Structure 1
């Protein structure tokens, strides 16, 4: 068989590459959200800046690699064979968890994941060792676990949630008081001082504190230690002066410059702190193998106390890992989905909400409103007026006297997000604490958005629910990571042949989630729920509504055909799948109706009369979708309850109705796709044939009941399908007639 540990090292190397990909897909949200959300810099420029930051941060991460070797467990209590089992279990579990979260577009903490996977795998192996001993008890588990360091890391992660949220909220609140939303009109000295403060903080905490613990720190240690106050004051004066020159003479927006520097610093801090999450374990495994190989001792007897010693990391290996991270940044579609979640929760104002409110979010919002009322009773009225004036968003006037609010996820908030997150992460890195960059950046963003009054009465309950969902996902990650890693470690220790089995399982599961993700993104109709910056004309209304109608007609055609065919085959599995697609269609139409406010708000003055038309069209689409929804659920319920199938005559009639309806819906789809609205009259006339067929089918069923029909359940289902089909056709005809009238009137304008 050869050396099985060589094969395990190869597997760990491959898993490390995969972990870098799925890990960066998750963590790209950390340092790209603010710059992308504020639209301060072109996306390509943001990516280039972030890529450079990742490369630099990868080199500074060597001091963090010790966490994987000795941060969670005591290596001298394990032998080489057991250490390899632990590391293998950690990597297998980590890839699976991160890939699942990324597929759902949910940011999770890679630090929480790796820490609890190491803890779970180590505990599992320790319990196996204890159970095999006659002298040890369960209390001896603490001899195997580095409980002090593990507790320090875990408590640091939890505390960081409170600190990041609080610091982000406080700094953003005072930054807004200084800048207001009309930040472009602030005096030059404010921009100069703000630039001096921001760049000084980045210089000190990122460059100086961030390099602590790396091989490069030794060369500057004598110049830094003991001179912190002088360095900070000197940097502030120097950078304030530079900022003033850039603002005064070169007319450079200092906030854009801060965002660019902040993106670099946060990307650097991210790589410096989080690279251990992706390659720390494989590097520790390589160190373990090298030590064991030269020892000449059996794998099940060589203790791993050597892992407690300081081992220098290979800089080229770190740079290679940084390169993989950069490539992933540019190519990962899942990274974009995770980024969208963070931006969605921190954006200013209302819009389409991704998360549904829950009881906890409702209670929190009510308490916050009560607390706010109490504060307003204490603060003088004049002070309240002054503060509120700083939070008033400016307005601009566009053609035809249409007033629009400016986007409020602005440069000030983006700058604060980047500065505060990078500072907090760098402090943790200097202390060799694998702080969760996801926790910190997310909670800073939530704190700044709350302080910036981004969560209004219309959106607060949804945003709070979203925050709870994301944080809950992190804690769920911890529990799942601990249990899953422990189970995997047990399976591997049971027999080493489980390693290839588990690897094949991981490959299959990751491939499956990737296929499902790709299929889901292709099926989903892209909807943009934002306050539009452009005016919508009559032609714009026609274009958008036509696309919606064509899409709904095509999908209802397919869904109705599936229901009839699957009912004929009594196929419960396919009926369940169809019902899910029907639910999805109804949800999308509901989302369109939720966006009516922003659509109507964007109509130009000559198109205001189109608002009634657009609302009616959405109402008819909803009626049609509800009809197919009722048909689908009634059919699924019938088959799921194991009732008798419909008789051949009934199925034959339904099939004929399906063929006629399919022809009408296909014509509807073609008319609206090709914008050939003159043919609407022909389609409206075709409805008579279909309604006649439905009426004849109802009469036939009445005759069957009076003669040979013996199943009341069949009759109920059959009548339900026919009557809902009538309603579906009626709604469709009303839609077409409304559209025809609007089209004719719009041509006469």
Structure 2
């Protein structure tokens, strides 16, 4: 029996390592949002600063571990076997939920996951214990720490409103002080602002955090905590002078503040949220060692876990080791960058492609807020209103290269988020760092007028989607952990093994879905890169050259894709490979979406050209895109009946049909690849021969159609097969014709 529970403890440790990796991917948005969004430093420097903060924060996080030990359940009423059942269910649920949200690119709360998973598991086992209590002496209030649970839940969700409101207010005041052209006004206030920001960071991140650190004890700690007020004053004076001197030395103080804030947020994340990843496994380890210490005097089903009522004394090497794992995960995780992108896009200052659509609730909120704003502004005196508008003149905005917002807003985001999170940490309340950091960023972007009339409804929909995801997290965490706990209780060890297998399957499947999603995003990034280049073109000639280069790349890729898809479709149908046909259909759907995005480049490209040539060149671009779309649609119309035919297990092509069509298909694929090569080289000398070849291919395919019609008239072969075969020939003819038209239009677009 001890061996089985040792296995569970080891399994919890393995899940903790995985949870640390997944959790950092999810929570990277908390401390990377501001620095990455504002481009305060190079990506490498930002990562080094964040990694250092994580290591320090992990070492200071000891005080939060009590949440997993006795924050939700009353351990003195639960036996060792029951506690282990709850803890295993919590960890199984946690890794799956977090990985799913990471794959979707949606920031969710590891704190909410932990709290509601513990609630779900505790409620499940409490109901079991009450149902088995023949003496009716147990009640739900005895088994659950309801007061603490309610405090935690209220703290988590209250932080949403508090963070948003404070983010909006502080950013509004900061923008009035510094304006968007902060270089003009910084000389008057930068020393004071930097001193306040740096002092706040040092006070909350270090003085508060050090209280629970196992590394600081003795006379030094006593002196710091007994003279905190005086030290804070000295820090404020020193940092104010330092920031002013740095400004005089032409150092961008806002960048210094953002990097300090990034360090502080990373420290706060590790200090506050480390419990979410290792708190449960450490509680299980503590329970196991306490059980062994009783030297076999009781059994797992009779040993009450009263020892978990005491505070956690986590060894420093567990904390530092966890910090190292989180740093490695941060530096290597692509999902972390995916989650950061969502929050940065919602907070960016400029318009652009929106990741979210619109919703009825968002539309109503926009109208209500617009009307309320108009009413308020009617009351404000005109001189005051004009002065405010001058302070918010975003035409003077100073942005780093490819930044989404400026350094003033980034400074507010990191400092305010760090303060709010640190307050929760010092009170030992597991505030959600995700909620706080995300909502501060949203509040500051609203106050900064980043949500204009063209983007507000999309941004609000995005924020509501993220917040809705948080509530879904809470409900899913509670429900799934409740069910898993029940299954483990009823099924015992076999059920645990089954749950482990399901969790592994879910994680593998999630990874596959994520890779497909990243492939789509890579295609979108190509379009966005072209758009950015066109927008920054210095003159119409440069824009036309970029436009032509983009068209060559796209058309080459389209023709190569058509050749590959046609080859795979024919191969899949002739060999009755349903999986291959499904894969071709999926790739065609992706290509269709990509071609829709490419049309947007055409619209922007035309606006960058001289008026004399814009109409002709724009027309040729759109025609080439239309022909490329028709090629893809033709292949789709070819593949779909083939897939249905194989899926229904109908008769395959006969040998004559296979031989005739395969030979012609090879010629068509070769033709498409040579068209792609010609466009890539931008040398159209061989185009007449390609046009002649297209005519020959059409004649050959038409001849195959006539021969098939003769076979049908002679009533030889399967009618269903003949219908599919004739459709393949017809759509292949379309592919050839559209490809021929495409290269003709491409020549007109590329040539002077």
Q: Would the TM-score normalized by the shorter structure come out above 0.5?
A: yes
Find 2:694's aligned residue among 679, 687, 693.
687
Q: CA deviation at 1:720?
A: 5.8
CA pair 657-385 structure 1, distance change in 2 beyond 3 A: farther
CA offset digits 1:78-122 (Å, max 9, x no partner): 111111111111112211222222223222211111111111112
Q: State the partner residue of 1:617.
A: 624
In the aligned structure 2, how far is the partner of 1:728 from the partner of 1:641?
A: 26
Q: CA deviation at 1:276?
A: 0.3
In the aligned structure 2, how far is the partner of 1:349 from the partner of 1:435?
A: 31
Q: State the partner residue of 1:319.
A: 320
Q: State the partner residue of 1:453.
A: 449
Find 1:514's aligned residue among 511, 516, 529.
511
Q: Which segment is superposed worse, 501-510 or 637-646?
A: 637-646
Q: CA deviation at 1:555?
A: 2.0
CA pair 626-193 structure 1, distance change in 2 beyond 3 A: farther
In the aligned structure 2, how far is the partner of 1:605 from the partner of 1:230?
A: 68
Task: Determine helix, strand or coil for the equivalent of 2:349.
Answer: coil
Q: CA deviation at 1:353?
A: 2.5
Task: Determine helix, strand or coil for the equivalent of 2:526.
Answer: coil
Q: State the partner residue of 1:247.
A: 247
Q: Which segment is superposed worse, 8-17 or 211-220?
A: 211-220
Q: How does 1:738-749 map to 2 (within 5 A)?
A: 738-745=745-752
Q: How does 1:421-440 map to 2 (within 5 A)?
A: 421-440=417-436
In the aligned structure 2, how far is the partner of 1:53 from the partner of 1:552?
A: 46
Find 1:589's aligned residue among 577, 592, 595.
595
Q: Is the 8 A contact 1:395 1:406 kept in 2?
A: no
Q: State the partner residue of 1:174.
A: 173
Q: CA deviation at 1:372?
A: 3.3
Determine if the alignment matches structure 1 residue 549 to structure 2 residue 555: yes
Determine if the alignment matches structure 1 residue 14 to structure 2 residue 19: no
Q: CA deviation at 1:348?
A: 2.1
Q: State the partner residue of 2:329.
A: 328
Q: State the partner residue of 2:458.
A: 462
Q: State the partner residue of 1:124.
A: 124
Q: How does 1:181-196 map to 2 (within 5 A)?
A: 181-196=180-195
Q: How does 1:142-291 map to 2 (within 5 A)?
A: 142-215=141-214, 216=216, 235-248=235-248, 250-291=249-290
Q: Is the 8 A contact 1:79 1:299 kept in 2?
A: yes
In the aligned structure 1, how far is the partner of 2:738 from the partner of 2:381?
A: 57
Q: CA deviation at 1:23?
A: 0.9
CA pair 211-598 structure 1, distance change in 2 beyond 3 A: farther
Determine if the alignment matches structure 1 residue 477 to structure 2 residue 484: no
Q: CA deviation at 1:365?
A: 2.9
Find 1:496's aligned residue among 484, 493, 496.
493
Q: CA deviation at 1:281?
A: 0.8
Q: CA deviation at 1:180?
A: 1.8
Determine if the alignment matches structure 1 residue 362 to structure 2 residue 363: yes
CA pair 368-119 structure 1, distance change in 2 beyond 3 A: same
CA pair 357-568 structure 1, distance change in 2 beyond 3 A: farther
Q: CA deviation at 1:38?
A: 0.9
In the aligned structure 2, how far is the partner of 1:228 from the partner of 1:73?
A: 36
Q: Is the 8 A contact 1:395 1:405 kept in 2?
A: no
Q: CA deviation at 1:157?
A: 1.5
Task: Determine helix, strand or coil for the equivalent of 2:139.
Answer: helix
In the aligned structure 2, how far is the partner of 1:717 from the partner of 1:362?
A: 48
CA pair 422-708 structure 1, distance change in 2 beyond 3 A: same
Q: Is the 8 A contact 2:180 2:396 kept in 1?
A: no
Q: State the partner residue of 1:401.
A: none
CA pair 368-295 structure 1, distance change in 2 beyond 3 A: same
Q: Is the 8 A contact 1:196 1:237 kept in 2?
A: yes
Q: Which segment is superposed worse, 733-742 or 33-42?
A: 733-742
In the aligned structure 2, how far is the partner of 1:406 from the partner of 1:42?
A: 12
CA pair 82-667 structure 1, distance change in 2 beyond 3 A: same
Q: CA deviation at 1:280?
A: 0.6
Q: Which segment is superposed worse, 447-456 or 62-71?
A: 447-456
CA pair 87-570 structure 1, distance change in 2 beyond 3 A: same
TM-score (norm 2): 0.89
TM-score (norm 1): 0.89
Q: CA deviation at 1:5?
A: 1.6
CA offset digits 1:571-603 (Å, max 9, x no partner): 655444432221111111112223445555667
In the aligned structure 2, how far is the partner of 1:449 from the partner of 1:483?
A: 35
Q: Is the 8 A contact 2:547 2:605 kept in 1?
A: no
Q: How does 1:636-647 map to 2 (within 5 A)?
A: none
In the aligned structure 2, how far is the partner of 1:606 from the partner of 1:31?
A: 50
In the aligned structure 2, how far is the partner of 1:161 from the partner of 1:654?
A: 63
Say what the alpha-carbon RMSD is for the aligned residues.
3.4
Q: CA deviation at 1:550?
A: 2.1
CA pair 261-605 structure 1, distance change in 2 beyond 3 A: farther
Task: Determine helix, strand or coil for the equivalent of 1:169.
Answer: helix
Q: Is the 8 A contact 2:488 2:496 kept in 1?
A: yes
CA pair 172-488 structure 1, distance change in 2 beyond 3 A: same
CA pair 317-226 structure 1, distance change in 2 beyond 3 A: closer
Task: Determine helix, strand or coil for the equivalent of 1:53.
Answer: helix
Q: How does 1:63-82 map to 2 (within 5 A)?
A: 63-82=63-82
Task: Determine helix, strand or coil for the equivalent of 2:751.
Answer: helix
Q: CA deviation at 1:406?
A: 8.3
Q: Is the 8 A contact 2:620 2:748 kept in 1?
A: no
Q: CA deviation at 1:69?
A: 0.6
Q: Is the 8 A contact 1:172 1:448 kept in 2?
A: yes
Q: How does 1:352-391 map to 2 (within 5 A)?
A: 352-391=353-392
CA pair 89-566 structure 1, distance change in 2 beyond 3 A: same
Q: State the partner residue of 2:634.
A: 627
Q: Is the 8 A contact 1:205 1:426 kept in 2?
A: yes
CA pair 616-481 structure 1, distance change in 2 beyond 3 A: same
CA offset digits 1:531-580 (Å, max 9, x no partner): 44742554433332222122222222232334444455666554444322
Q: CA deviation at 1:487?
A: 2.6
Structure 2 unaligned regions, length at least 5: none
Q: CA deviation at 1:326?
A: 0.9
CA pair 645-159 structure 1, distance change in 2 beyond 3 A: farther
Determine if the alignment matches structure 1 residue 540 to structure 2 residue 543: no
Q: Is the 8 A contact 1:255 1:411 kept in 2?
A: yes
Q: Which segment is superposed worse, 156-165 or 517-526?
A: 517-526
Determine if the alignment matches structure 1 residue 417 to structure 2 residue 413: yes
Q: Is the 8 A contact 2:595 2:629 kept in 1?
A: yes
In the aligned structure 2, how far is the partner of 1:218 from the partner of 1:613?
A: 78
In the aligned structure 1, how far is the partner of 2:608 from the partner of 2:371?
A: 35
Q: State the partner residue of 2:586.
A: 580
